[in-house]
Amino acid sequence: MRYRAAVLHAMGARHSIEEVELQPLAPGDVLIRLHASGLCHTDLEVIEGALPYPLPIVLGHEGAGVVEQVGAAVTHVKPGDHVVCSWNPHCGHCFYCERDQPILCEPFTRHQPAGRLLDGGSRYRLAGHRLVHHFSTTSTHAQYTVVPESGAIAVPHEIPFDRACLIGCGVMTGVGAAVRLAKVEPGSTAVVVGCGAVGLHAIQGARLQQADAIVAIDRDPARLALARICGATHLLGPAQGDAAAHIDAVKALTAGRGADFVFECAGAEAALQLSLDCTRPGGSLTILGKVNVDKKVSLRFGSMMGERRIVRSSYGGARPRRDFPWLARLYLDGRLKLDELITQRLPLERIDEGFDAMRLGRTLRTVLEIAH
C-alpha cells in the first residue's frame, strides 16, 4: 500500500509531498486513515533543528481519522471506529506504567526519540526501501498512519475530525493540567501565563473546575480576546503594564497573597519567573511551556520558597482512553470551545504555508484537512 505524506528530509527544509510505502502491520498495530492533522510548535522545533530527530521523517502528532485495519492482537478498536491519535502510547507493564506514570513508559522513551514505534520498528519506506522515521509514534501529516493500539483512542462519531485532532495534544495538555493534575478548586484564583494553544485550554480547564477568578497574561491582544472567550475573567497585557504590574494586579485580586493555581504556558525564562512570582505561598505552579532542553534558566530562588508546589507536565496527566472521549463529549455538549481556536485550514500540500504563518505568529491553530 502506498499513500501521500509530508516528508522532511533536512532540517530547515520544506516538506516534500511524496509516496510512502506501508510495511506489514505487527499484531499490536492500528492503521488509521487520517482526515485531519494539527500543526504544533513541537513540529516546528524539529523542522528548525531545536529538537533533533533522525531523518527522513513524517511529522505531526495531532491526528484524527478512521480505523482502516488492525493487527491480530488489537482488541480496543476496530475498523470503522473514529479515533484520535495519542502521541504517548505506552506498554502497560514496564517500571513506570506499573506505577501509573505512562508518560514515562520505558519502551516509549527508548524508541520514540529514535523515530521508532514501541517495538523499535518502523512501518514506513520510501522508494528504494529507504526507511522513514515515525514522529512521536504518530506521524499524522499524511493520508495514513500506523500507531500502537494504545495510541488509537476511539471517540464519538459526532465530533468533526478537524476539532477532534486537537484533543490529541494541546487540548489534553491544557485542560488536563487544570483538571487532572493541579485539580483547580471551585472558588479559587487561577493565573495562566501565555495564551497560546495550551494556555487557552488551561483557562478552559480552570473554568470547568469553577475557579472564581481566571487571570490571562499575554502580550498579544488577539490572544487575550480569545482568552476572554475561553473563560478568563481578567486580562493582563502590555496595556496593563509590565511584569511587576501584572504581579501587583494578581496580588490585588487575592488580598496580597498571589494566585492559588498558576500555569506557565509561554515557554520562556521571563514567563517562568513571572509565574513563580504570581503563585501564592502554598500555591500550585504547573509548568507546561518549554525551552530548549539544553538551555539553562536563571530564577530567583526566593520565588520557589514558601511551600509552593511546582510540577512540570508534558501531557496534562493524560490517560487517553479515559480523557479523549471525555473531552470530545465536553465539546459536543458545548462546554469546551474548539471552533473559535482554529484560525487556518489547509490541504496537506500547503503544509509549509501553515508553518510559515506559525513562525510569524499569524495563526493560533492550523489544521490540515487531508484529502484521499
Predicted local confidence at residue 292, as pLDDT:
84
Q: How many CA atoms lie within 13 A of 337 on its CB side?
A: 21
> What would the mean pLDDT of 126-155 be, rounded to a whole number?
96
Domain residue ranges in the chain: 2-154+338-369, 174-312
Q: Please give the Cα distance from 301 to 273 (Å, whole number).
A: 10
Predicted local confidence at residue 239, as pLDDT:
92
Q: Please give the Cα distance from 62 to 338 (Å, whole number).
A: 14
- Cβ atoms 117, 25 nearer than 8 A: no
What's the length of the chain?
372
- Strands 16-22, 2-8: pairing is antiparallel
Predicted local confidence at residue 49, as pLDDT:
92
- Give CA 241 to chain center in angstroms: 30
Predicted confidence (pLDDT) at residue 128 exceeds the cutoff of 90 = no
> What would the mean pLDDT of 26-30 be, rounded to a whole number?
98
CB atoms within 10 A of CB 289: 20
Domain 2-154+338-369 in CATH 3.40.50.261? The answer is no
Q: What is the pTM of this model?
A: 0.96
Predicted local confidence at residue 265, as pLDDT:
98
pLDDT in tens, 80-114: 999 999 999 999 999 999 999 999 999 999 999 99
**Which CATH superfamily groups domain 174-312?**
NAD(P)-binding Rossmann-like Domain (3.40.50.720)
Q: Which residues contact 123 (CB under 8 A, 6 or more apart)?
A: 22, 23, 24, 25, 26, 29, 117, 134, 146
Phi, psi for residue 133 in degrees, rounded to 5: -85, 150
Predicted confidence (pLDDT) at residue 257 exceeds the cutoff of 90 = yes
Predicted confidence (pLDDT) at residue 127 exceeds the cutoff of 90 = no
Residue with cell 473554568: 207
Q: Which residue has the higher pLDDT, 285 or 291?
A: 285
- SS3 per-residue string spanning 112-136: HHHCCCCCCCCCEECHHHCEEECCC
Q: Please give the Cα distance from 167 to 177 (Å, whole number).
A: 13
Q: Report DSSP letters for 32-96, one per residue.
A: EEEEEEE--HHHHHHHTTSS---SSEE----EEEEEEEE-TT--S--TT-EEEE-S----SSSTT
> What would the mean pLDDT of 122-148 be, rounded to a whole number?
95
Residue with cell 504570581: 278
Predicted confidence (pLDDT) at residue 294 exceeds the cutoff of 90 = no
Q: Which residues contact 363 (CB under 8 A, 6 or more apart)?
A: 343, 344, 354, 357
Residue with cell 495514513: 144
Joined grid coordinates for residue 134: 515515525
pLDDT averaged over every residue in the chain: 97
- Give CA 329 to chain center in angstroms: 18
Q: Please give the Cα distance from 36 to 366 (Å, whole number).
A: 10
Predicted local confidence at residue 142, as pLDDT:
98
pLDDT in tens, 31-44: 999 999 999 999 99
CB atoms within 10 A of CB 269: 14
Predicted confidence (pLDDT) at residue 129 exceeds the cutoff of 90 = no
> What would the mean pLDDT of 14-25 be, rounded to a whole number?
96
